[in-house]
Amino acid sequence: MSSNQNEFLPFSRPSISEEAINEVVACLRSGWITTGPRVKQFEDDLKAYLAAPHVLALTSATAGLHLVLSALKLQPGDEVITTPMTFAATLNTIVLAGGRPVLVDVEPGTYNMDVTRIEKAVTKRTRAIMPVHFAGLPVDLDPLYDIAKRHGLRVIEDAAHAIGTEYKGRRIGSFGDTQVFSFHPNKNMTTGEGGCIATRDDKLAGDVALLRFHGMDREAWNRFGKKGSQHYEIIAPGYKYNMMDIQAALGLHQLKQLDGFIKRRTELALRYHKIMADWPQWTLTGTPSYGHLHAWHLYTPLINPDVTRMDRDAFMQGMKDRNIGTGLHYRAVHLYPYYRETFGFKRGDFPVAETISDRIVSLPLFPLMTDADQDRVIAAMNDLFKR
Ligand SMILES: *Cc1c(COP(=O)(O)O)cnc(C)c1O
């Protein structure tokens, strides 16, 4: 990246290697551009990286959440417990699959769902818990899985931020029930658009494989009909959520670079932490006491408007005026009109999430960012805050 003052510094930018570009070109030239050998290879590589028995590549993490929740066959009134501090897709897919989102507030330091609040939210209608590993910092999964086990609940981890994250020395995706990862360009690795699910449930993997491609089953015909036939059966009304080989061509090379990307993200995040440690303008994120590897998908401090005399939106505009992009991840989902009107959520329901929602901002963080780029961010903040 350039540290040229005149060039806009985005809050995120993907790192695409020449090898990845060449692989995409080779795929285009090969004559096979949709789901095929490169998707198969990508799924095998992800299985090895995640140490997961089943990985299914999809068009997005949203598709993954939708498929997994659809496979649960939620009945009207069935509840899924999740967090308001997430991207809208987490709740949207619960609703699309016929469920009702039930929310618990988050922890002030990590913005992750406060697992001590989950058990009180469990009812006879609860079917699943959907934790989100915010910014790539893992949720405290041991107590969460204990609750799930006691009440017979599924756990669908929204791991959109968490490829490469570890909890107590184990990689997210290598244990537990089911995880959904995102390969959107802003995420830690990308396939353009894309995502995958990892699961240890053979039945769920089979259902997702079916539902991601029209509910089309060639085996069913082969079981009952002639072997090797071109026929298929439709055994459920499925979706069209299969990843293309063009996308997997990118993903194959992104995955090889992922640990290096996380290493650079971590250096930059810790450098922000060090520089901003004693700034009264910010409240920085905290660190949980359990063992973890943070994938640093986002760097998200909270602005202290009493000190800065400007709110988060004015800060974002001020940075933009200084040629620096920032992001907003996220406003609390329960405050959006659809969720207020449909489920009766209101301000005051989840006060910790609401405070975060009002004050959170994502500072630039991406592997190609240089220390000089980061110095520009710091200089712009010093200027804006008149430090
Ligand atoms: C990005 C994101 C998603 C959706 O991912 P897509 O691949 O864009 O569909 C879901 N949940 C969270 C928490 C996300 O950040």
Tell how far the Cα of 160 is from the centroid of ligand 1, in angstroms. Answer: 5
Tell how far the Cα of 182 is from the centroid of ligand 1, in angstroms. Answer: 6
What share of the chain in percent tops pLDDT 90?
Answer: 94
SS3 call for 182: strand
Query: What lines the ligand 1 site, CB under 6 Å?
Result: 60-62, 86-87, 89-90, 132, 158, 160-161, 182, 184, 195
Is the pTM of the predicted complex or chain greater than 0.85?
Answer: yes
Q: From the CA of 62, give the closest atom in ligand 1.
A: 9
Residues 6+ apart with CB under 8 A from 383: 322
Which pLDDT score is estimated for 1?
46
Residues 6+ apart with CB under 8 A from 9: 1, 323, 324, 325, 364, 369, 373, 376, 377
Tell how far the Cα of 87 is from the centroid of ligand 1, in angstroms. Answer: 6
pLDDT at 28 over 80: yes
Q: From the CA of 194, give the closest atom in ligand 1.
A: 7
pLDDT at 224 over 90: no
- 92-132 tens-digit pLDDT: 999 999 999 999 999 999 999 999 999 999 999 999 999 99
Please confirm, yes or no, whether 240 is among the known catalytic residues. Answer: no
- 251-301 tens-digit pLDDT: 999 999 999 999 999 999 999 999 999 999 999 999 999 999 999 999 999
pLDDT at 368 over 50: yes
Choice from 58, 68, 69, 90 to test ligand 1 binding pocket (greatest atom count within 8 A of CB): 90
Choice from 87, 156, 190, 333 to test ligand 1 binding pocket (greatest atom count within 8 A of CB): 87
Tell how far the Cα of 330 is from the centroid of ligand 1, in angstroms. Answer: 11
What's the average model confidence in pLDDT over 16-44? 97
Catalytic residue among 47, 187, 240, 346: 187
Tell how far the Cα of 130 is from the centroid of ligand 1, in angstroms. Answer: 13
Choice from 158, 250, 300 to test ligand 1 binding pocket (greatest atom count within 8 A of CB): 158
**Cis bond upstream, residue 330 (ω within 30):** yes
The DSSP bridge partners found for residue 261 are: none
CA dihedral 233, 239, 245, 251 (to 10 degrees): -140
SS3 call for 358: helix
